[in-house]
Amino acid sequence: MSDHKRFVIFLCNGNTIRSQMAEGLLNHMGGDRFTAVSAGVEPGEKVHPMAIAVLAEEGIDISHHKPKAIGTYLGKEAILHMITVCDKAQQTCPRIWPGLSEGNRHHWMLDNPSATEGSEEEKLAAFRRVRDDLKGKIQAWLKEV
């Protein structure tokens, strides 16, 4: 197996929850083959504490992650796969990285857990659902690539 890892970028609107969780999960689950990064169309101020908490439950530390703009990676990394995890990113970013084939562009629509109303436990449950959905999608994707 080659020592060269393939770069994957996860894109969402704010880069505070879904794309950050996806980056942490892929680096944990497929870090021997891939280097995952993430960015946002309109990056927020900080990674959501509940995203950090639900990945910590899996032994994954993203507490040091910071939201980043898409421009952070344009022309800097050899991005081989682009995965959008919200509709805004899918609509805004369809032709970024023009050399990327359609087969290497994916859209995984995930609910925004921060929109969940209710108790702290109900909100945390929404973040866990997104985490678990991402884990399933990443596991399936790793079998395909």
The answer, yes or no, to whether residue 77 has pLDDT greater than 90, is: no
Q: Which two tokens stand for residue 31?
A: 């870090």
The answer, yes or no, to whether residue 136 has pLDDT greater than 60, is: yes
| pLDDT tens digit sequence for 78-103 | 878 999 998 888 877 766 766 778 78
Q: Mean pLDDT, the chain, as a whole number?
A: 91
112 is catalytic: no
Which of these, 133, 130, 143, 136, lies nearest to 33 by C-alpha position?
Answer: 143
- What is the C-alpha to C-alpha distance for residues 68 and 54, in angstroms, rounded to an integer? 21
123 is catalytic: no
To the nearest whole percent, how much of the chain has pLDDT over 70? 94
CATH topology (fold) of 6-139: Rossmann fold (3.40.50)
48 is catalytic: no
Asked whether the whole model's pTM tops 0.85, one would answer: yes
Identity of residue 43: P
Q: Taking the domains of the chain in order of start, what are their residue ranges?
A: 6-139
- What is the C-alpha to C-alpha distance for residues 18 and 14, in angstroms, rounded to an integer? 9
Catalytic residue among 12, 25, 52, 62: 12
What integer pLDDT is reported at residue 2 of this predicted model?
45
Residue range 46-60: mean pLDDT, rounded: 98
Burial 32-52 (b: 16+ CB within 10 A, else e): eebbbbbbbbebbeebbebbb
- What is the C-alpha to C-alpha distance for residues 131 and 21, in angstroms, rounded to an integer? 7
What integer pLDDT is reported at residue 57 of this predicted model?
98
What integer pLDDT is reported at residue 98 of this predicted model?
67
